[in-house]
Amino acid sequence: KAERRYKREGKKYVDTDNPRLSQFNGVTLTWHRPYEHSPQNDWRLFRGKPQPADVEQGHVEDCWLLAALAAVAGHVGGQLVEALFLRHGKLELSPAGATMVRLCLPGSPTGDCANPLDPFSGHWAKPRDKLSDNGRRIIVPGAWRLILVDDYLPFVESQQLAYCRSSRYVVWASLVEKALAKVYGSYEALRGGRLKFALFILTGGETESMYVSQWNSDDLCRRLMHADKKGYLMIACTVMAEDKLCPLRPNHAYSLLSFAAGRDCRRSDIGEVMLRDPFGKVHRMPWVELRTRLYQIEICKVSRRCK
Q: Mind telling me the catalytic residues?
A: 252
CA angle 67, 73, 79 (to 5 degrees): 145
8 Å CB contact between 97 and 13: yes
**Taken in order 256, 254, 197, 48, is the CA torsion positive or negative?**
negative
Phi–psi pair at 83, nearest 5 degrees: -65, -20
Alpha carbon of residue 175 to chain centroid: 11
Cα 291 to Cα 212: distance, rounded to the nearest angstrom:
6
- DSSP H helices in 74-191: 79-82, 172-184
What is the DSSP secondary-structure string of 112-155? ----TTSGGG--SSPPP----TTS-EE---BEEEEEEEES-EEE
Query: In terms of DSSP bridges, do strands 143-150 and 253-260 run parallel, antiparallel, or are they unpaired?
Result: unpaired
Closest CA to 117 of 69, 84, 142: 84
How far apart, in whole angstroms, are the C-alpha atoms of residue 180 and residue 147?
A: 8
